[in-house]
Structure 1
Amino acid sequence: MNPFATPKPTDLLPTSTSLLYANLHPILLLSILAFTFPAVVADPVPALLGLAPTTALLQGLYCVLCLPSTGQSPPEEKRKGGEKRKAGKAAGSQDVWAKVVPTFLSLLLTLLLTTPVLTLTLLLFGAPLTTHHPQTLLLALHLALLTTPPLYYVHGLTSTTWLQLASLQVPIDEVYGMTLGACAGAWVGAVPIPLDWDREWQKWPVTVLVGCYGGAVVGKVVGGWVFKGARVKMA
């Protein structure tokens, strides 16, 4: 494989389970946000702490059930007829670990690498600098969970690929669309905060969080069904 080649759009695994969960995934993301929204408005820190594991679980299931992993390899051919059943079991076991291990590593990298980077990014883009530090950190965690676990799972840690992702040189698909949508949604979600409406839900980081989830869902659907394979044209 040429490390400098542009990655192709990611196709979902061709199974009924994959297609079913891929369709349920955006509904579940919006549902958990709607269910916890009153708690997020009332007290963001514990609500965001409680919501994060559920989001991580949904993202992990999406990786395992729907996406091909860079670490997966096809099962070895069966050479002897008497070893067919044993080889089949071994291949099935390897296939499970080929999904679970990259998923765990993707979530771990999201926590340890992406979350600190996004925390600094949010501060640079106008998050409160001297107050609301737990809220900003937890918002970065949720944005990280919505953007990078599927990217780590599908693309691995190849530096050239991540440079292409960061510079918008990768064709849009469901995974990349979810990332771009979450980032765009976070940007749009910041708009209501300075408006003088005196509403409780305008406090940091409620609207940005809603924008992250809404943008991720819209980006996932649009990237997977409408603009799959398209490229962002830079002037």
Structure 2
Amino acid sequence: MPLIDPVTMSAINPASQSAPAKTSSPIELLPNDLARIISQVHPVLLLSAYYLRFPSFVADPIPTLLSSLLPLAIIQAAYAALCLPATGSNAKAVKRGKLNGAKKIGDAPSANAFTLLFSFVLSLLSTPVLAGLQILFGAPITTHLPHTLLSSAHLALLTVFPLVYVHGSDGKKWREIASLHSPIDEVFGGAVGCFLGAWLGAVPIPLDWDREWQKWPVTIVTGAYAGYVLGKMVGSWLLKGRRIEFD
């Protein structure tokens, strides 16, 4: 017997009642030992490479930023392919990991070539957008445009690339990310930390210290790398699964 609405005296269709909205889950690493090891080595490798290039970066930013893009792209691609589930495979990977336990290192999944390429393309396309955002936040608009574009390319590889690799073009997920309502994991945490670090990196630029490293965009890129590593660590350990609350 169908249910009757006591006010309208009309039948209630259970299918018409809205189901509770599903909440997204944090990204889990691939369920194998290799993924866990590389995830720990990844931030150390990034900071070590940046530290070694820092003197040349301060002395001549454009060639250093340009020559560092390929190594950064290789590091990020290896991290994504060996540690992160490609878009659409997160639930399956986690389920297999829970059912079968840790797998052998040789069973680590091969890189999804199309997903990697798609992620690189969107990272490239996002570079002018990030450069525009930097200009809106105070970057030089009439000078240092190559500096701004190259620093934005580094930001894109650190943030956009892994986000696209795990989330693809899922509009709902990207709305969560843009509104900072996505559950925190090492991918989202790294992105938030990177942008926050880049923003804080602008603080020393106007100070009257007369240091060579205060020139654009040395402190921005330095803050981005440091913030990315810190956000990645916080997202994978301390705050995993939580959401940013503004109340």
TM range (shorter): 0.7 to 0.9
Give the unaligned 5+ runs of structure 2. 1-18, 93-106
Q: Does 1:133 align with 2:150?
A: no
Between the aligned residues of both structures, percent identity stands at: 50
Within-5 A mapping of 1:66-105: 66-72=83-89, 96=110, 99-105=112-118
Structure 1 counterpart of 2:124, one-letter code: L
Post-superposition Cα deviations, 1:77-134, rounded to whole Å, max 9, x if no partner, equal xxxxxxxxxxxxxxx9xx636x22211210121012x111101000000000100000
SS at match of 1:194: coil
Moved >6 Å (runs of 4+):
none
Structure 2 counterpart of 1:146: 158
Number of the residue aligned with 1:36 = 53
Task: State the one-letter code of the partner of 1:138.
Answer: L
| C-alpha distance in 2 between matches for 1:178 and 1:221 | 8
1:16 matches 2:30? no
1:108 is aligned to 121
* 2:78 corresponds to: 61
The answer (yes or no) to whether the contact 1:6–1:161 under 8 Å persists in 2 is no
Amino acid at match of 1:21: I
- Structure showing greater radius of gyration is 2
Compute the TM-score of the two structures, normalised by the length of structure 1.
0.86
Counterparts of 1:5 and 1:158 in 2: how far apart (Å)?
14
Q: Partner of 1:176: helix, strand, or coil?
A: helix
Cα RMSD of the aligned pairs, angstroms, is 1.8
Counterparts of 1:7 and 1:62, CA distance in 2: 23
Stretches of structure 1 that go unaligned for 5 or more consecutive residues are 75-91
> Structure 2 counterpart of 1:111, which letter?
L
Residue 196 of structure 1 corresponds to: 208
Contact 1:6–1:169 under 8 Å retained in 2:
no
Would you say the 8 A contact 2:82–2:110 is kept in 1? no
**Residue 72 of structure 1, CA deviation:** 4.2
SS at match of 1:96: coil
